[in-house]
Amino acid sequence: MGNVSNIWYVIMILLPVLGGLYVLLFPFKKREHMCICVEAITILTSALSLFLIAARPERIDIVTFVSKFSISVGFDGMGCIFAALVSFLWPFATLYAFDYMKHEAGENTAKESTFFGFYVVTFGVTLGIAGASNLLTMYIFYEMLTLVTVPLILFTLSREATLATRTYLYYSLGGAAFGFVTLVFISNFGNTLDFVLGGILHFNESSGTVEAAVATISGDVASLPAGLMRLVYLFGFFGFGVKAAIFPLSSWLPKAGVAPTPVTALLHAVAVVKAGAFAILRITYYSFGTEILKDSFAQYVPMAFAIFTIVYGCSQAVRERHIKRRLAYSTVSNLSYILFGCLIMSPLGMAGALCHMLFHGVMKICSFFCAGAVIAGTGREYVYEVDGLGRRMPKTFAAFTVSSFSLMGVPLLCGFISKWQLAQAAVDSENLMAYIGIGALLVSALLTAIYMLQIVIRAFFPEKGFNYSAIERYHDPGWKMILPFGVFVVCMIGFGIFGDKVVTILSAVANGRL
């Protein structure tokens, strides 16, 4: 398929961006027409993305400023993984949003058009991050992602939404400033911004300096003390780590739960938070390279923060009584699973991180959608309010139960596969701190069981004498919400049973064979 034109990469990004702007600027008179248009754009974009993942045409340089500054798009192995996740989940998320936004926007079609316009634009920007061929391109789309998701968080225009949006902006823009420091150093001393597995820097052990692995045309090679370059990596890690909700930069994520559930589901499962984890994987394995980072403070400091965040997020989730905020703290914890795998700095660690990035996306979007169905259908938002609802909304809570067991890491479900891969990578690393990380994973599994099963048990087994007549009017949502539940449950079970095939693909990516 090498004859596929690389211009399709540009079309893949522009189709949802321009389509979303059209929906935003030219509101439809009939809601049905808007829904058809939005879903059609989303499905076409996903189909094109999946086709390009299979075809893998050469990258395209959209704009070139000078020799090493260009906006370039093309899929490598890692970009394919992120793009596949986004392209698979987005059409189902959009379908779910059609029913949910009736509850959120009422009869205000213009307000809905604003929501879906930005929702579709965000799809294109996220695919831009997945397809970025160099650090500059990824950084530009990464900044755009912040801007296009602000109106989604602000959607309700409530005081809580305003405060949450302000916090999100402060954290994201501050993190981007730290990431920019990394971009500047890589551009000056790497002699290229392209993503290359293994990194574009070389560690000269004899002199203790870091040099560009790619020489300039004149043959000059700049160098810097290794300690300084490792410090620059920390700037990048914590800068991009804002969106990955690393402690202590995670408080924006639970606050963002004030947004409509279709937004929070994508913020917490796919687009924003996974973009942060994806960016850290990129700079670790494709820009700096593990050669200069491993067995130094550049590995141990962020790994310590990731391990702490795993336990911290779960602990806060146990304490939290609001369902969506509880799931948000769960996301804080699970994102650091991905970072922990990344910081093991081995092909096994990278494969484990990618595995959890994929599987957590499916698990968490399912649990958020179930919570959203409860909130939209009953108006109940707190854990103590779900008593007995499992009997009135059996399909919703059945899907939630499967996602709960998967997040806990129960065998035959996908969560077990990704956690097993992370633990295996930690053992193989023979790194003392990685061993501590295994302990954090075990503690996290226990706490996950507590905060997820508490909801399940209360829903299906309320206290004796519970008055079921008080919830008689509640029922499962319509097919537009139920269908995504069913698909995600099948995926969690399917990946759990046939996860070895997915792991084989991810291992090939981590070892540069795909």
Quick: pLDDT tens for 451-470. Answer: 999 999 999 999 888 888 88
Quick: pLDDT tens for 131-156. Answer: 999 999 999 999 999 999 999 888 88
Residues comprising the chain, all counted: 514
Quick: pLDDT tens for 323-332. Answer: 999 999 999 9
CA dihedral 247, 252, 254, 255 (to 10 degrees): 150
- Residue 1's pLDDT is what? 44
Lowest mean pLDDT: which of 88-102, 158-172, 210-224, 392-406?
A: 210-224
- Residue 314's pLDDT is what? 95
- Residue 108's pLDDT is what? 62
> Helix (H, G, I), strand (E, B), or coil: what is residue 346?
coil
Rounded to whole angstroms, the Cα distance separating 179 from 173 reads: 10
Q: How confident is the model at residue 189 (pLDDT cuts 50, 70, 90)?
A: confident
Residue 207 pLDDT > 80: no
Average pLDDT, the chain: 90
Q: At what angle do helices 297-319 and 226-240 cross, to 10 degrees?
A: 20
Token pair of 416 as six digits: 């077990």
Rounded to whole angstroms, the Cα distance separating 115 from 166 reads: 18
CA 224 to chain centroid, in Å, comes to 33
Rounded to whole angstroms, the Cα distance separating 486 from 228 reads: 50
Lowest mean pLDDT: which of 148-152, 256-260, 271-275?
A: 256-260
> Helix (H, G, I), strand (E, B), or coil: what is residue 240?
helix
Q: Residue 106 — left, alpha, or beta (φ > 0 → left; ψ -120 to 50 → alpha)? A: left
Q: How confident is the model at residue 221 (pLDDT cuts 50, 70, 90)?
A: low
- Residue 390's pLDDT is what? 92
- Residue at token pair 């501050």: 174
- Residue 217's pLDDT is what? 46
Residue 286 pLDDT > 50: yes
417 close to 503: Cβ distance less than 8 angstroms: yes
Burial code of 108-135, b = ≥16 C-beta within 10 A, e = fewer? ebebbbbbbbbbbbbbbbbbbbbbbbbb
Residue 504 pLDDT > 90: yes
Is the pTM for the entire model greater than 0.85?
yes
Rounded to whole angstroms, the Cα distance separating 219 from 46 reads: 43
Rounded to whole angstroms, the Cα distance separating 494 from 413 reads: 8
Q: What is the DSSP letter of 286?
A: I
- Helix or strand holding residue 61 (H, E): strand 60-66
- Residue 139's pLDDT is what? 95
Residue 269 pLDDT > 80: no
Q: How confident is the model at residue 216 (pLDDT cuts 50, 70, 90)?
A: low
- Residue 494's pLDDT is what? 95
Distances (CA, A) of 387 to 102, 384, 392, 405, 471: 25, 6, 10, 19, 9
20 close to 121: Cβ distance less than 8 angstroms: yes
What's the whole-number mean pLDDT along residues 219-228? 71
Which residues are bridge partners to 212 per DSSP?
201
Distances (CA, A) of 34 to 29, 73, 127, 221, 249: 8, 30, 22, 55, 37
Quick: pLDDT tens for 387-414. Answer: 999 999 999 999 999 999 999 999 999 9
DSSP string for residues in 145-168? HHHHHHHHHTTT--HHHHHHHHHH
* The amino acid at 62: I
Before 394, cis peptide (omega within 30)?
Answer: no
- Residue 382's pLDDT is what? 94
CA dihedral 114, 115, 116, 119 (to 10 degrees): 120
Residue 20 pLDDT > 70: yes
Q: How confident is the model at residue 353 (pLDDT cuts 50, 70, 90)?
A: very high
Token pair of 368 as six digits: 């958020």
Token pair of 227 as six digits: 């300690």
Q: What is the C-alpha radius of gyration for the chain, rounded to an integer number of angstroms?
A: 22
- Residue 2's pLDDT is what? 47
In the chain, % of residues over pLDDT 70: 95
Q: How confident is the model at residue 105 (pLDDT cuts 50, 70, 90)?
A: low
Q: How confident is the model at residue 267 (pLDDT cuts 50, 70, 90)?
A: confident
- Residue 79's pLDDT is what? 94
Instruction: Classify strands 60-66 and 201-204 as parallel, antiparallel or unpaired.
Output: unpaired
Work out the number of other CB atoms within 10 angstroms of the CB of residue 207. Answer: 11
- Residue 470's pLDDT is what? 87
What's the whole-number mean pLDDT along residues 292-298? 92
Q: How confident is the model at residue 215 (pLDDT cuts 50, 70, 90)?
A: low
360 close to 338: Cβ distance less than 8 angstroms: yes
Q: How confident is the model at residue 209 (pLDDT cuts 50, 70, 90)?
A: confident
Q: How confident is the model at residue 220 (pLDDT cuts 50, 70, 90)?
A: low
- Residue at token pair 């300096």: 209
